[in-house]
Amino acid sequence: MTAQAKPYPRVQFLIDTFAQWLRHRRELSELRQLDRDDFERIAMDLQVTPADLDELVRHGEHAADELPQMLKALGIDEAALGRAEPLVLRDMERVCAMCKDKPRCHRDLAAGTSAAHYEDYCLNAPTIDRLGAAAAKH
Query: pLDDT tens across 7-63, in order?
Result: 677 777 667 766 776 776 777 677 777 788 887 887 788 777 888 877 777 777 778
Does residue 101 contact residue 81 with C-beta atoms inside 8 Å? Answer: no
Give the pLDDT score at 4: 53
- pLDDT > 70? residue 71: yes
Rg (CA), the chain: 18
**Residue 35 DSSP code:** -
pLDDT value of residue 5: 59
Residue 136, pLDDT > 80, answer no
Three-state secondary-structure class, residue 76: coil
SS3 track for the chain: CCCCCCCCHHHHHHHHHHHHHHHHHHHHHHHHHCCHHHHHHHHHHHCCCHHHHHHHHHHCCCCCCHHHHHHHHCCCCHHHHHHHCHHHHHHHHHHHHCCCCHHHHHHHHHHCCHHHHHHHCCCCHHHHHHHHHHHHHC
- Quick check: 67 and 92 in contact, CB under 8 A? yes
User: What is the amino acid identity at position 39?
Assistant: F
Domain range annotation of the chain = 7-61, 62-138
Of 47 and 94, the structure prediction assigns the larger pLDDT to 94
Nearest in space to 71 (alpha carbons), one of 110, 111, 109, 120: 109
CA–CA separation, 50 vs 55, rounded Å? Answer: 9
Does pLDDT of 1 surpass 60?
Answer: no
Q: What is the pTM of this model?
A: 0.64
Mean pLDDT taken over the chain? 82
